Amino acid sequence: MIVQMKRLSLVAHKSDEQALLKELQPLGAVEVIPETEETRDQSGLDAAQSNVDRLSEALNILKPYGKKGGLLTAAPEASLQEIRDKMPEALRLSSELEMLQKDLQYCRAQADKNAGIIETLLPWKDFPSDMADTKGSKYVRYFTGLLDAEDVPKLEELKDIIEVQIVSEAKTDAILIACAESDAKTVQNYLKSLSWTEFSFPKLSGTPQEAIDRLREENDALGNEAQQLIGKIEEKSTFRDNLGGAYDAAVIERDRAEAATEIGLTECTFHLEGWVPEDRVADVKAAVESVTDAYYMDVRDPEEGEVPPSVVRNSDFVEPFEAVTNLYSRPDPRGIDATPYMTPFYILLFGMMLSDTGYGLLLLIGGLLFLKLKKPTGMMASLAKVITWGGLSTIIWGFLTGTFFGLDFDVIFGTNNVFPILVDPMSDPIMMLILCFGLGVLHILFGVGLKIKMSLEQGDWQTAVFDNLSWVLIIVGLIMFAGSSSVQGLPPVISKIGLVLAIVGAVMILLFKGRAKKNVFGRTVAGLGELYQVTSYLSDILSYARLFALGIATGVIASVFNQLCAMLMSSPNIILKILGTLVACALLVGLHLFNLAINTLGAFVHCARLQYVEFYGKFYEAGGRTFQPLGYNAKHVRLTDK
């Protein structure tokens, strides 16, 4: 159900502003429309934002350390007051963490730098004298550098004017060359023509070997210090929950501060414009009255040109499936909420794509455990519930098609051909395909039916009859015409009725599709174009073949895994047999879990696709905007006060 949105205007005394916002925030019912004309003092928002940033930085620093909440650990519960009280302590802690992190980064950077110097000094470690001595003097110039080994003999050419000392030999040699200051230019030019790489010693005292030793010692010390710092940071990781709670409190405060900057102000009043769902107006009014009686509040329907956010309200059963719709697009606030109509089909088709009782049981139990232990919220909770319902449906479809972890039910129960109850896709694929297409036709016709309903509600009977009902006639008619011949014992008149229906539908389209056009010829051309749509309906229906294909993909792969493991267990040698059985058992668990995971993902997305493209394509009006009310958006704790 789409909830009507109301435009709220609230005027009250400026001094009540903070108190009012504090009362409105827990309701989560008002989306503030930013006042664009004047800009307000941002300092409150900036301070609140900086708290959020600091705490989120602290949480990031702690991320690699300490134990994390497991997959099935629920977030801790806390009241708003509790997490608010944690703020000052958490902010102090985050400053501390920031300092530690900074020191740690400094240590690591310094160690990296030292390691780099050591690396460059290694070829020079046999250099016997102080590095500072290579600076040269008034009459002597030293060159230090690296030269490819093959170029070293070429230095012979200058042997009259230079003294060469090879410090170390490798692919490139480290070389010291001394010459008279007056020859320096000649030597330099000659070196440039070789593969000479100039090397200047770092500004350190002592011989290279001494420097290396010193740097290594320094790095050991830095390593120790880094370890200590990491230890200190790790100690703080026990406060992760406090930090998370404080972060949530900071976000709540930030959101309120942000709302405050979006509210218009006059000399002594403030003026809040916003959207409220119709069913929450009374709550908002009560909240305002609890603060002050000096207020003016106006609630009206949206005017032309104003686009309200889209809000839907559904029963607990349908509500999780809103997440599936939201993945596509939220409904247009003036359209209809398709989720309640989509839900039963989603459950039905999801189960059909997995159709294995064993896998269904795993999904059902897993989903329930996840919901029970993790207590997820938001999108996560919705998806878990969707999967749980899908699991239930999968169990039933598994009975109907007779598979349990890829095994035949008859094998397990020792029954003789009781299963499958409905149809065995492996031995009777055509029957299964017909079942899929049948469901597809139902699904599509239901979508067209919804479009007819919508058009009639808007008073547009022409669209309902000529553009949509005509298609129902064509589809039903064609199916009766073609289908009745393949089923024996049906009177031939059904086929004739079908043909008549289809022709009536086609004529309706031919004559009235282009009803906006005056020209008869133009009308007929538009009608012919529309009739070509029959291919799109055909491809829509054929698209439901994926139900069958994904169904056998799950079942056959499961039985392939079973057979592989059966081969492992069937060795005649007793020792190999025991070993094989052990390996096979472990393999079975892993392989089936893999198959379940990949096919659940497949079923989820393919089922969603059938809803989005084949079903929603017929009637859904997408493009709504998400409702983002001022509220409590807690990520790390579950707030107890609502």
**Binding residues vs other proteins (CB under 8 A):** 326-328, 429-430, 433, 542-543, 545-546, 548-550, 552-553, 556-557, 560, 563, 598, 601-602, 605-606, 608-609, 612
- Which of 210, 124, 209, 140 has the alpha carbon at shortest distance from 177? 140
Cβ closest to other proteins, residue 4 vs residue 563: 563
Cβ closest to other proteins, residue 341 vs residue 548: 548
- Which of 360, 346, 353, 358 has the alpha carbon at shortest distance from 388? 360
Task: Work out how close the CB of 560 gets to other proteins at its nearest, in angstroms, rounded to a whole number.
Answer: 5
For 401, the token pair is 């098609």
Q: Reduce the DSSP state of residue 176 to 3 states and report it.
A: strand
Cβ closest to other proteins, residue 441 vs residue 556: 556
Angle (deg, nearest 10), helices 470-486 and 429-457: 160
Q: Which letter does DSSP use for residue 137 in this model?
A: -
Cβ closest to other proteins, residue 26 vs residue 602: 602
Q: Which letter does DSSP use for residue 65 in this model?
A: S
Task: Work out how close the CB of 447 gets to other proteins at its nearest, in angstroms, rounded to a whole number.
Answer: 17
| Cβ–Cβ < 8 Å for 162, 177 | yes
Task: Work out how close the CB of 602 gets to other proteins at its nearest, in angstroms, rounded to a whole number.
Answer: 6
Identity of residue 374? K
| Cβ–Cβ < 8 Å for 359, 596 | yes
Cβ closest to other proteins, residue 494 vs residue 545: 545
Task: Work out how close the CB of 549 gets to other proteins at its nearest, in angstroms, rounded to a whole number.
Answer: 5
Angle (deg, nearest 10), helices 87-121 and 208-236: 160
* CA angle in degrees (0–180, nearest 5) for 282-30-628: 140
**Interacting residues of 289 by C-beta distance below 8 A, sequence separation 6+:** 295
Task: Work out how close the CB of 330 gets to other proteins at its nearest, in angstroms, rounded to a whole number.
Answer: 11
For 1, the token pair is 């159900």
Measured from the Cβ of residue 209, the count of other Cβ atoms closer than 10 Å reads 15
* CA angle in degrees (0–180, nearest 5) for 157-162-167: 100
Cβ closest to other proteins, residue 60 vs residue 485: 60
Q: Which helix (H) or strand (E) holds 500?
A: helix 492-512
Cβ closest to other proteins, residue 327 vs residue 587: 327
Burial (CB count within 10 angstroms: exposed 0-12, middle 13-18, buried 19+), residue 577: middle
Cβ closest to other proteins, residue 310 vs residue 484: 310
Task: Work out how close the CB of 623 gets to other proteins at its nearest, in angstroms, rounded to a whole number.
Answer: 13
Task: Work out how close the CB of 629 gets to other proteins at its nearest, in angstroms, rounded to a whole number.
Answer: 17
Task: Work out how close the CB of 4 gets to other proteins at its nearest, in angstroms, rounded to a whole number.
Answer: 25
For 133, the token pair is 């001595």
Q: Could you tell me where the DSSP H helices lie in 160-207?
A: 184-193
Identity of residue 205? S
Cβ closest to other proteins, residue 361 vs residue 549: 549
Task: Work out how close the CB of 590 gets to other proteins at its nearest, in angstroms, rounded to a whole number.
Answer: 15
For 599, the token pair is 């096919």
Q: Reduce the DSSP state of residue 331 to 3 states and report it.
A: strand
Please state, in angstroms and rounded to a whole number, the distance separating the CA atoms of residues 217 and 215: 5
Q: How far is CA 427 from CA 7, 401, 431, 548, in A?
A: 61, 11, 9, 13
Cβ closest to other proteins, residue 476 vs residue 557: 557
Task: Work out how close the CB of 601 gets to other proteins at its nearest, in angstroms, rounded to a whole number.
Answer: 6
For 308, the token pair is 């309200």
Cβ closest to other proteins, residue 345 vs residue 466: 345
Task: Work out how close the CB of 322 gets to other proteins at its nearest, in angstroms, rounded to a whole number.
Answer: 12
- Which of 159, 600, 579 has the alpha carbon at shortest distance from 350? 600
Cβ closest to other proteins, residue 115 vs residue 613: 613
Task: Work out how close the CB of 429 gets to other proteins at its nearest, in angstroms, rounded to a whole number.
Answer: 5
Please state, in angstroms and rounded to a whole number, the distance separating the CA atoms of residues 398 and 394: 6
Please state, in angstroms and rounded to a whole number, the distance separating the CA atoms of residues 96 and 437: 64
Cβ closest to other proteins, residue 230 vs residue 557: 557
Cβ closest to other proteins, residue 62 vs residue 452: 62
Task: Work out how close the CB of 597 gets to other proteins at its nearest, in angstroms, rounded to a whole number.
Answer: 9
Q: Which helix (H) or strand (E) holds 528?
A: helix 520-531
Which residues face 195 on adjacent strands? none
Task: Work out how close the CB of 129 gets to other proteins at its nearest, in angstroms, rounded to a whole number.
Answer: 47
* CA angle in degrees (0–180, nearest 5) for 205-210-211: 55
Measured from the Cβ of residue 132, the count of other Cβ atoms closer than 10 Å reads 11
Please state, in angstroms and rounded to a whole number, the distance separating the CA atoms of residues 241 and 509: 64
Cβ closest to other proteins, residue 149 vs residue 430: 430
Task: Work out how close the CB of 504 gets to other proteins at its nearest, in angstroms, rounded to a whole number.
Answer: 32
Q: Reduce the DSSP state of residue 377 to 3 states and report it.
A: coil
Q: For residue 237, how many C-alpha atoms fall within 13 Å in the half-sphere facing its CB?
A: 16
* CA angle in degrees (0–180, nearest 5) for 389-394-398: 155
